Structures are given as structure tokens and as C-alpha cells.
Amino acid sequence: MTSANNALKAENLTIGYGERTVIDNLSLDFPAGRMTAILGPNGCGKSTLLRALARLITPEKGTVTLGSDNIFSMDTRALARRLAILPQASKAPEGITVADLVRRGRTPWRGLFSAWSEADAAAVERALKEVGLTDMSERPIDQLSGGQRQRAWIALVLAQDTPCLLLDEPTTWLDLTHQIEVLSLVRERNRNQGVTVVTVLHDLNLAARFYDRLVLLGPNGMVAAGSPQDVLTEENLMTGFGLSAMVLPDPITGTPMVVPR
Amino acid sequence: MRAMAVAALALVFAAVLTLTVGVREGGFALLWQALTAFDPTDPAHIAIHSIRMPRLIAGLIAGAALGMAGTIMQAITRNPLADPGILGINAGAAFAVVIGSLIAGRADNGLMAALAFPGAAAAAVAVFALGGGLKGDAGPVRLTLAGVALSAMLLSFVSAIILARNEALEVFRFWVTGSLAQAGMRPLGYMAVAAVFGSALAIAIAPRIEALSLGSALARGLGTNPGRIQFGALVAVTALTGAAVGVAGPVAFLGLLVPRLARRVGGHVLRRELIASAILGAAILLFADTIGRLVTPPAEIRVGTMTALIGAPMFIWMARRLRAGAGA
């Protein structure tokens, strides 16, 4: 599954809202089967970039390719079978159960009149198992804890069963334990199935621990892209965040750890 | 599944009541006779065939259509107060029929059928535009206010027109408060076709509406086209509401009550909810109609008044609950 067909590539992307240009002529590779985190200060265009990668917004210039296909000329449903996105802070209909929410991830696989299939049921079951909510599948979402709720949303995009998975700040509002839980299960899907993952994240140290590649955006465009060691340097943190920090090896994983001064 | 069976039984019971209650003595035995061994010389048999049957059919069409329309509207607007009556779509259809037949100087079935649908569609579009639906997601309160205002305005126009024309009072009163009386005069055939079309469309696009109810960004990520789903839902709601108004006049609040109950029967699976809505909508409308015929004999209370008597307090209760809750 780790074929180059699942690599995302942004080419000369320029995206703006009205007069303001948020992303200016950005070219970036998101290699197939790897986990890439997009980092940067608020307002630097992280979410904008992610939304363009999922075709939720159309860039002024440039394009995005998935494998050899330009995503802006692909059929909507064909794209949804290859690429899933979980936007920020989605809201569930009142009273919906975990299973009913997760089932909606199968939308791109269902025809206008086709019934629920074995494959649909299997994908939902597997997604629930991966996020550890099998036993709670019949519970209403609003009765779950914040961490469980976020896992249910992730199960929805896992049930979509795409080789490419985009997540917009999936750990916001969660406590540290649940942040780790969420990122672990995303990495498990990545390791087991070679899924390409792109995530907008705030926490630099968690990004360094869980992700293969980091992209650091600053107020004036991209600062660095590459392995955590290459991206999380004191100089880059100053350019990107205006943050004076020390970078030490994480005592447990050896990945870079940012300690603000 | 058991809940669905109970709902279906309730509908059968309501249908039998509609056919038998008030038909002198004889009750069920007489009904059975009239259905299996129709005697064209027996006035009781004739009453069942020419008065009760159309009444039952009108009730089935209007109840099922309004229940389904309410369920689609609530799903697509994420607004628990959405209802064809409250959002002014009933009033739009009634207004178009009254104005149109005045201008044309006639009020035949074909004309009414032709007018009810564009009226319903125009009102639906107007309410979404007024409620801010075109710019993004219309908040439940704004959308509801826009609908209530439009509905009040259109129905008061209809009243003003009717009051100014004495001879038309009896004919046109039907367009202010819905009723199942004289259902034999309504274009039952046309409206049944429209209702079936609307139901089929609603059931076909139900999974996409479910995706859209997760927000438009996620819906697009799931490979659906929000604009196209909204258009499909609009066509379905228009066909269903137009059909209901065509056979029963504007019946308010049914589309508000039914979706809540249907969710209990169908869970959060929209196709099941829609089927449950059709069954429950028809059952509730027929029960309300039968009660309306029983309380003040020989006069009857119009079914539109009956649903308002049950629905208005429910609306107030739900509106209060909405404010106390998350609000959005």
C-alpha cells in the first residue's frame, strides 16, 4: 500500500483570503506511507495548507497532486476514497451513537441506492477496534469523555479506509494522556497499513516523538521541512515562533525536545 | 425493529378509526362489509367509499409527507425547530394557491396542484435567504424567526383576501387552517404522485444528508457535494410539503412533533428515521383528525387546529430547551 501513488505533493501553492496572501508559492512533498506534521504559530496558514491538500479550498495558483493525479480535477467521490480529512472541532448531531457516527465514514463507498455492505460493516468494526471503542459503540457521543469523543471522530475517518489521512489539530482540548493515545492510534494505522498521514499539530515535542517528518511554517512562509532533528533547531524556532529555546534530546526517545528559555 | 412494528400497528389502528368512527352503528363489521362486499345501494357503504376513503387517503398523504419533510428539514438545517409549518413553507404553498386561483378566477384541482409546489419552493428559498442560510449555516434561532415571520405574513394575506370575499369564505378557509374534510374534492392522485416522488428522493439522498449534518467541510471530505445535497433536499421538501398542502391545507407542527418520535423508532439512521416519520406522521394526523370529529359533534374541529393544539406547547417547550442547551 506504500506505493508512490499515495504521496501528496503541493506545487507552487499560493492561497489567499481576499487581499491577504496566507501561503505564498509553497512547494512541499508529503511522502507516501510517512507521517508528516505541520507546525507553526497561530495564523501562519497551517490549517489553510491542510485544507488545500484536501481540496476544501481552491488555491489561487499552483496545484496539489496525489500520486500522479491532480486532486483539483479528480472526481469528488474518487478522491474521498483515497484521501480522508478530519477538520477541526466537528460537531456531532445530538444524541447520535458512536457506531452511527462512525458508519457515516463509509459515505464515499456507498452508491445512491446500494445497501450497507459486508465491507462497510467490516471497516466500521475495525475502526472501532483500532480506537478502542468497540464496547462503547452503542453509547451516545455526548455521554463520552473528551478523549473518547475525539477517538470516535478519528474512527469515522479510519472507517473511510483511505490510504491518505489528513487531521487538523486532532489533539486540541485533550489532556496529555489522551493526546498521546490519539497520536498512538494514528501511528498504529500508519505502521500497519502504510497510510500517508499529514497532521496540523501544536505540540512540538509530541510532533517530534510521533512524526517522521516535520514542516515548520513561520509568519513569512516555510522555515524548514525534514526530519525532526533537522527542523527543530534553536535557529528555526527563533525564525518560526520568535521563541528562544534550548533543544535537548528527549531522555526517553532521543528525539529533539524543545525547552523554552 | 419492534418500535417500527408498534408504529405500523398504531397507523393501522388510526386508519380503521378514520373509516369507522361516526359511521352510525356497525363499526368494524360494517367497514369489513363495505370493503369486501360493497353494496352501492347502502348509504353507509357509500359514505365509507366516497367520504371516509378519500379522507383516509388524504390523511395518509399529508401525514406521511409532513413527517418526512420535517425530518429532512431538521437533518439538513441541524435545527430541531424546523418544520414546514413553522418555516413558512406550508404558508407559501397556500398563499400561491389562493392568489393564483383568484387571478385565474377558478379553483380546480389541476391549478391548485400546479400552484402549491412553486409556492412551497419560493417560501423555502426565501426563508433560507432571510435566515442567513445562503451565507453558511443558518443558526436555528434566526432561521426559525425568519420562518415564523414569513408564515404569519403570508397567512395573514390569505386571511385578508378571504375575508374580503364573502362567497369564497368556505372554500378558502381550508387554505388558512388545514382540514381533512371534503377530501374527495382534493387532487389526491396528483398529490400522491408528488408525495411518492418526494419520499423516493429523500430516501435516496438520505446518506448524503447524514454526511452533510456533520458539517460541510467533513461532508466534502466524505466525497459529497453540499450544494447538490441541499438542492436535492429542497426539491424533496417542496414535493412533500406541496403534496400535503394540496390535500389537507396548511397543517402546522406535525413536522415538528414527528421527527423527535421517529428518531426514537429509527435511531440515527436517516433512512429508517424517514420511514418511521412517514408512518408516525400519518398515524398522528389520522388520530388528531378523528379526535377533532369526536369532541364537538356534529361540528368538527379542523385537523390543522388539532395539530396546533398539541404542537404549539411542544414548540414552546423545545424552544426553551434549545436556549438552555448549547444554543447552536
**Neighboring chain B residues of A90 at a CB cutoff of 8 Å:** 214-215, 217-218
Task: Give the residue from chain A lying closest to B325, CA to CA.
Answer: A94
**Neighboring chain A residues of B269 at a CB cutoff of 8 Å:** 100, 103
Task: Give the residue from chain A lying closest to B264, CA to CA.
Answer: A95
Q: Residue B326: what pLDDT?
A: 41
**Neighboring chain A residues of B75 at a CB cutoff of 8 Å:** 93
* pLDDT 10s digits, A39-69: 999 888 899 999 999 999 999 999 999 999 9
Helix axes B109-130, B226-248, angle to 10 degrees: 140
* AA identity, residue B195: A
**Neighboring chain A residues of B327 at a CB cutoff of 8 Å:** none
- Mutation for testing the A interface, residue in B74, B79, B268 having most A CBs under 10 Å: B268
Q: Hey, is B157 helix, strand or coil?
A: helix
Could you tell me if A19 lies within 8 Å of chain B, comparing CB atoms? Answer: no
Give the residues of chain B that fall short of pLDDT 50.
324-328
The whole-angstrom separation of Cα A179 and Cα A171 is 5
Contact B218 A90 (CB under 8 A): yes
The whole-angstrom separation of Cα A21 and Cα A16 is 4
Of B223, B263, B267, the CB nearest to A107: B223
ipTM for this model? 0.88
The whole-angstrom separation of Cα B211 and Cα A106 is 10
Q: Residue A199: what pLDDT?
A: 96
Contact A93 B267 (CB under 8 A): no
Q: Residue B239: what pLDDT?
A: 93
Contact A85 B80 (CB under 8 A): no
Q: Residue B160: what pLDDT?
A: 84
The whole-angstrom separation of Cα A165 and Cα B77 is 28
Q: Residue A34: what pLDDT?
A: 95
Q: What is the mean pLDDT of chain A?
A: 91
Q: What is the maximum alpha-carbon separation in chain A?
A: 60
Return the higher-pLDDT residue of B193 and A91. Answer: B193
Q: Residue B325: what pLDDT?
A: 44
Could you tell me if A77 lies within 8 Å of chain B, comparing CB atoms? Answer: yes
The enclosing H or E element of A226 equals strand A221-226
**Angle CA(B247)–CA(A113)–CA(A111) in degrees, nearest 5?**
140
Alpha carbon of A201: minimum distance to chain B alpha carbons (Å): 19
The whole-angstrom separation of Cα B325 and Cα A14 is 41
Domain B80-180+187-323: assigned CATH number: 1.10.3470.10
Contacts of B115 (CB under 8 A, 6+ apart): B93, B96, B97, B100, B101
Q: Residue B159: what pLDDT?
A: 82
Task: Give the residue from chain A lying closest to B202, CA to CA.
Answer: A112
Alpha carbon of B244: minimum distance to chain A alpha carbons (Å): 26
> What's the grid cell of residue A255?
528525539
> What's the grid cell of residue A92?
456531532
Contact A81 B211 (CB under 8 A): no
- The mean per-residue pLDDT over the stretch A5-16 comes to 91
Of B75, B207, B222, the CB nearest to A160: B222
- Which percentage of chain B shows pLDDT scores above 70? 91
Contact A112 B218 (CB under 8 A): no
- Mutation for testing the A interface, residue in B220, B270, B273 having most A CBs under 10 Å: B220
Instruction: Tally Cβ neighbours within 10 Å of residue B30.
Output: 19
The whole-angstrom separation of Cα A231 and Cα A225 is 6
Q: Residue B283: what pLDDT?
A: 95
- Mutation for testing the B interface, residue in A104, A106, A112, A149 having most B CBs under 10 Å: A104
**A–B CB contacts, 8 A cutoff, strictly below:** 76
Q: Residue B24: what pLDDT?
A: 58
| Domain range annotation of chain A | 1-76+203-261
Of A77, A84, A113, the CB nearest to B204: A113
- The mean per-residue pLDDT over the stretch A205-218 comes to 94
Could you tell me if A139 lies within 8 Å of chain B, comparing CB atoms? Answer: no
Q: Residue B139: what pLDDT?
A: 62
Alpha carbon of A107: minimum distance to chain B alpha carbons (Å): 6
> What's the grid cell of residue A30?
508529503
- The mean per-residue pLDDT over the stretch A16-40 comes to 90
Of B80, B205, B210, the CB nearest to A104: B210
Domain A1-76+203-261: assigned CATH number: 3.40.50.300
Return the higher-pLDDT residue of B268 and A109. Answer: A109
**How many angstroms separate the Cα of B296 from the Cα of each of A97, B171, B290, B291?**
45, 22, 11, 9
- Which percentage of chain A shows pLDDT scores above 70? 98
Q: Residue A136: what pLDDT?
A: 92
**Neighboring chain B residues of A115 at a CB cutoff of 8 Å:** none
Q: Residue B17: what pLDDT?
A: 87
Alpha carbon of B206: minimum distance to chain A alpha carbons (Å): 9
Which residues on adjacent β-strands are paired with residue A97?
A140
Could you tell me if B29 lies within 8 Å of chain A, comparing CB atoms? Answer: no
Return the higher-pLDDT residue of A235 and B31. Answer: A235
The whole-angstrom separation of Cα A55 and Cα A50 is 9
Alpha carbon of B156: minimum distance to chain A alpha carbons (Å): 35
Q: Residue B77: what pLDDT?
A: 80
Q: Residue B167: what pLDDT?
A: 61
Alpha carbon of B216: minimum distance to chain A alpha carbons (Å): 9
- Mutation for testing the B interface, residue in A71, A72, A107 having most B CBs under 10 Å: A107
The enclosing H or E element of A25 equals strand A20-30
* AA identity, residue B228: R
